């Protein structure tokens, strides 16, 4: 199911730590990772307009430097036994990443933008990719700590798939369940948060059936979906939260968006 993964990188420490998280994907059956680096055309046009530099020459120089950086990371993946390659694109980063994702099983991406420190921050590129991606997106979560020599990114959890929390709204569950069955998790929990007007007994029955299919504990809660999902994830020490894509046309303000911004655990959006 997840044989080919696309990994966007800006060569930051955050991106490299995200790549470390990606090593766990071998347990999901990932056989190949393609790194993608996007040269932001808007930045090049700015340089051209204000400094009179030749855009073509700049692109060639930047591409050459990007190739060297990408080759280093390809070797890192190959040393872990993962087949790897890379591609370079020029344009709007989010658009190029989404376009490149066609044909891949999933995208692995860091939550924060380059240099971001706030735990509630989702980088604009990451947010656009999450919203528009035609394939599932695994969003890693790292914490940024300050040390004497500066800021460093550290992995919050050692094993992403140790304890899975699947937050369901009962939409398209069969397809998601089949995906979750492939996860190398030691324990799974399925959660549903009752919405206004929803029949509690009916929801409990649906939840129980999903729990049986996943051989998972099932939890039914009432309240605000985002708050309850985050509380269950924290109380039960879940190492990853799995959710379906937001139903709304926009991402901001939805339960998915709220969990993405506030969860310390990685998020897998199916």
Banded pLDDT at 7 (limits 50, 70, 90): very high
pLDDT at 121 exceeding the cut of 70: no
pLDDT at 246 exceeding the cut of 80: no
Mean pLDDT of the chain: 84
pLDDT at 250 exceeding the cut of 50: no
pLDDT at 114 exceeding the cut of 50: no
Give the residue with greater pLDDT, 145 vs 118.
145
Per-residue pLDDT reduced to its tens digit, 129-185:
988 999 999 998 877 676 776 666 666 776 888 899 999 989 877 888 988 888 888
Write the DSSP string, the chain: ---EEEEE--S-HHHHHHHHHHGGGGGGT--EEEEEEEEEHHHHHHHHHHH---HHHHHHHHHHHHHHHHHHHHHHHHHTT-EEEEEEEEE-HHHHHHHHTTT-SEEEEESSPTT---TT---HHHHHHHHH-SS-EEEE-EEEEEETTEEEEEES-S-TTSEEEEE--SSSHHHHHHHHHTS--SEEEEEEEEPTT--HHHHHHHHHHHHHHHT-EEEEEES-HHHHHHHHHHHTT-SEEEEPPPSSSS-TTSHHHHHHHH-SS-EEE-
Least confident range of 47-51, 186-190, 196-200: 47-51
Instruction: Kindly list the structural domains of the chain, giving each domain's residue range(s) and its CATH number in brackets, ordered by start.
Output: 4-155 (3.40.50.620), 163-269 (3.40.50.620)
Segment 52-62 shows an average pLDDT of: 71
């Amino acid at each position: 199911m997840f044989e080919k993964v696309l990994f966007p990188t800006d060569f930051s420490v955050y991106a490299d730590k995200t790549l470390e998280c990606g090593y766990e994907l071998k347990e999901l059956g990932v056989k190949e990772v393609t790194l993608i680096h996007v040269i932001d055309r808007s930045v090049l046009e700015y340089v051209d307009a204000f400094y009179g530099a030749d855009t073509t020459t700049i692109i060639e120089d930047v591409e050459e430097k990007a190739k060297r950086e990408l080759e280093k990371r390809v070797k890192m993946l190959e040393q872990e036994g993962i087949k790897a390659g890379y591609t370079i694109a020029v344009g709007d980063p989010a658009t190029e990443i989404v376009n490149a994702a066609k044909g891949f099983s999933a995208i692995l991406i860091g939550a924060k933008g380059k240099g971001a420190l706030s735990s509630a921050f989702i980088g604009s590129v990451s947010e656009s990719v999450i919203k528009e991606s035609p394939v599932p997106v695994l969003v890693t979560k790292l914490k940024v700590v300050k040390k004497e020599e500066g800021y460093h990114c550290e992995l919050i959890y050692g094993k992403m798939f140790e304890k899975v929390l699947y937050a369901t709204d009962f939409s398209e569950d069969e397809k998601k369940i089949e995906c979750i069955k492939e996860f190398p998790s030691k324990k799974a929990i399925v959660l549903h948060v009752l919405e206004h007007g929803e029949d509690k007994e009916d929801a409990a029955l649906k939840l129980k059936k999903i729990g049986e299919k996943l051989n998972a504990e099932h939890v039914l809660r009432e309240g605000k979906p985002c708050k309850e999902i985050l509380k269950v994830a924290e109380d039960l020490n879940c190492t990853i939260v799995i959710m379906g894509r937001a139903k709304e046309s926009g991402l901001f303000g939805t339960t998915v968006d709220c969990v993405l911004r506030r969860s310390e655990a990685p998020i897998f959006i199916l």
